[in-house]
Every structure is written in C-alpha cells, then in structure tokens.
Amino acid sequence: MTLTLSKVELKVKYISFSADKRCIGSLNMYELVVEKTFAGAHNLRGYDGDCEKLHGHNWKVEVTLKAEKLNELGMVIDFKIVKKKLEEILSHFDHSYLNELGEFKQENPTTENVSKVIYNNLSAQLPPEIFVAKVKTWESEKCAAAYYV
C-alpha cells in the first residue's frame, strides 16, 4: 500500500507474526548501533524515596538506527557522523543538573524521558531514509529504559 500526502510518500509493508512468534512477510532492514556516555545529575520530583534527592549517574546511551537501503559506499550512514551527532546532543546533558534544562522543567528527567528527548533530537537530524529505531538509556549497569515508535 502506498499513501501519498502532499510531497511525502509513505510506503507500508505488511509484516505479521505467527502464533509461535515467527516473522511472516518481508521487511528488509539494516541496523546500526552506536553507544555514547555522559555524566549528569537529577532528582525525581514527587518520587517517594531516595531518587527524590539529588543524585547522579554515568549514563550510557545506545542508539539504534535503521534503513532499508545502503548508501553508495555500502553503509547505512558513517559511524563517525552518528557519533558526532549523538555527542552534540549529549553534550547538552553532560555534567549538568538535568532538572534545570528546558526539556525537564515540567517533566521529570526519568531515564524514560531522557531516552525520548534524545530520540526526538537525533530523529530531527537524520536524512529521511534513516530512522531512529530505538534509544536505550542506561542509568546503571543493570537498569535501562528505551523509547521507540
């Protein structure tokens, strides 16, 4: 099925899963994963517990990009480009008190919301043929939250 809106074309591929969770249909995609880190402090407003107090994390951010096709060099996108864009986004958070940043004046700077902000910022900077499949943010070695659409 193809849906055309103005000058935007949306192609929808049919894919489904069988009862035993096997993929039925065809959706050929390439996936690229990049990780970066930043250090930042936050507190969770309204939380009943230790996380309501100011505390910090060494956050790890894992970004997954997808594309149907490779470029003329056989890449989704150069890793250096993605790392630079992610580094620029994370520099806004690095060594910051997240609650004081505009993105978190109203919303709590939870790991979930940090992932969503990074997702939205990176999505806006990529060419239309490459999309952010998921942003997974780790606040510790064993705790992470992801945002994807």
Catalytic residue among 51, 68, 92, 112: 51
Our answer to whether residue 95 is catalytic in this structure is yes
Our answer to whether residue 139 is catalytic in this structure is yes
Estimate to the nearest angstrom the gap between the alpha carbon of 62 and the chain centroid: 7
Catalytic residue among 9, 23, 55, 95: 95
Our answer to whether residue 23 is catalytic in this structure is no
Active site residues: 51, 95, 139
